[in-house]
Structure 1
Amino acid sequence: MTTTVDQRHSTIGALLRQWRERRRISQLDLSIAADISARHLSFVETGRSRPSRQMVLRLSACMDVPLRERNHLLLAAGYAPVYSAQPLEGASMAPVREALGVILKGHEPSPAVVVDRAWTLLEANASTALLLEGVAPELLEPPVNVLRLSLHPRGVAPRIANLGEWRAHLLHRLHRQIDHTGDEDLRALYRELAGYPGAEPEAPVEAPAAGEVALPLRLRTRGRELRFLSTVATFGTPLDVTVSELVIESFFPADEATAAALRAAQAGRASG
């Protein structure tokens, strides 16, 4: 993954200033939050003072900089990274994999997936197959990007009854993620998704229907419409880059007809 600046050619002061400006925080407010003087922070940003390792970590925490970028800041300041980035399949990540398995299994018969920061599909439970019916095989070739899979004209998009609303929701989430991380790869993904044939250049903002408490995913399948509510979960206290970027998204039935269809699909898999 990349960020909005080239880490190899940027000073720690310039990087901290860019993160502060991205977060729309003044020098004074950041200095108060980090318990340092505004003068000292100004000297750090202009390169007149080299921050300590602890100060880099403190400023990063105050600006809610993602763990991956905190490591980049430490390197720019001349310090070794402090946050590991273990591969999910590594031995040390066995407890994480076990927890993910329990969560995915526990959500059945509701579909649930695990994605990383790039929206790459890492794990999915058996119920997810219901969402993927009719998807072009090439979109399911690893690595699978779930946003591309959802909005591509040969993906799930033709079966989404409220595609305009759902597309706006997904693009808004992606835009917020770009704003939070400054990741250029995600920015490129946004441009790709927004440019799909037949898609509006700007995501529409639509008022909720009467009585709706959350935007449902309305999916046409097997001659009927299923309605899902989406929930998102993350690990609460991550100290590893990989773990901090894992997202578990679950799709729960928004009505009894959808719940019955999910139970029937699960029974069919069990009998088959």
Structure 2
Amino acid sequence: METVGRLLRGWRHGRQLSQLDLALAAGVSPRYVSLVETGRSRPSADMVLRLANQLDVPLRHRNRLLVAAGFAPRYRERPLDEPDMAAVRDAVLRVLRAHEPYPALVVDQRWNIVMTNGAVELFLGDVHPSLLEPPVNMIRLGLDPRGLAPRMVNLAEVRALMRTRLARQVARTGDPVVAALYEEFFADHEPEGPPPGVESEVATPMIFQVEGRRLSLFSTVTTFGTPQDITLEEISIESYYPADAESAALLRGFVQRGGGSRP
């Protein structure tokens, strides 16, 4: 049987914290943390959320903790295409369109592409149709030999970055689908050099051969601050910028030839 104490202990171990560490962060006694984890004390809903906050537990799993403790879930999950999410969807679309002529896309927590702008189409011409069937997965699109990988000049560097990002995400969320993606692309391969540092995730470009020309991009990731909705917490905007003047000119030319935003 799933208990709140067992779940909290799993998250605490995953964060490599002692009961004392968690107690100090949450403003409770180590004995209280021990009593909760062993099921000898039933925490209130607010205490469950206080401990979950200190453990950086994702909202989806905070709901699971609350249910295990005998309380109703607190966080809603509404698809972006629902009417009451129209304002959020419109805002995200404006961000994507404003970023043109440079590519930008929205991905969910499992790296499925939710929305894109028109500049992304530049990269999809030679991709195998099976990789473009919904839901299109960004990891598979980028690293599968039938996708963008053959056109990626610095594939080894990009693979190293994605290995680090996926490993970090699995450690934070425990998501089995993300873990399966990691297994699919990295489990049978030795790491290509040492893990990249945080600064490398910004500074390392993705270099493609596109239309017979070299296209160099770097990326940034935008997330929603302090979200109270599971969907908003689990999506991010990946924005790509040209690393040199030639790349900027190539992207501008593509959009001028007819690239346009699409959901």
Match of 2:114 among 112, 122, 144: 122
Contact 1:88 1:97 survives alignment (8 Å) = yes
Match of 1:259 among 248, 251, 255: 248
**1:200 equivalenced with 2:189 (yes/no):** yes
Match of 2:144 among 152, 161, 164: 152
What do residues 2-60 of structure 1 show as CA deviations (whole Å, max 9, x unaligned)? xxxxxxx3211010011011011111111111111111111000111111101000000
**For residue 262 of structure 1, what is the amino acid of its counterpart?**
L
C-alpha change, 1:108 and 1:73, in structure 2 (3 Å) is same
* TM-score for both structures, normalised by structure 2: 0.94
SS at structure 2 position matched to 1:205: coil
Contact 2:103 2:119 survives alignment (8 Å) = yes
> How far, CA to CA, are the matches of 2:40 and 2:159 in structure 1?
46
Match of 1:18 in 2: 10
Match of 1:229 in 2: 218
**1:77 equivalenced with 2:45 (yes/no):** no
> How far, CA to CA, are the matches of 2:206 and 2:142 in structure 1?
11
C-alpha change, 1:270 and 1:183, in structure 2 (3 Å) is closer
**1:100 equivalenced with 2:89 (yes/no):** no
Match of 1:240 in 2: 229
Match of 2:128 in 1: 136
> How far, CA to CA, are the matches of 1:11 and 1:200 in structure 2?
37
* TM-score for both structures, normalised by structure 1: 0.91
Match of 1:111 in 2: 103
SS at structure 2 position matched to 1:269: coil
SS at structure 2 position matched to 1:249: strand
1:99 offset after TM fit, Å? Answer: 1.0
Question: Any stretches of 5+ residues in structure 1 without a counterpart?
Answer: 1-8
Q: CA RMSD in A?
A: 1.8
> How far, CA to CA, are the matches of 1:12 and 1:42 in structure 2?
12
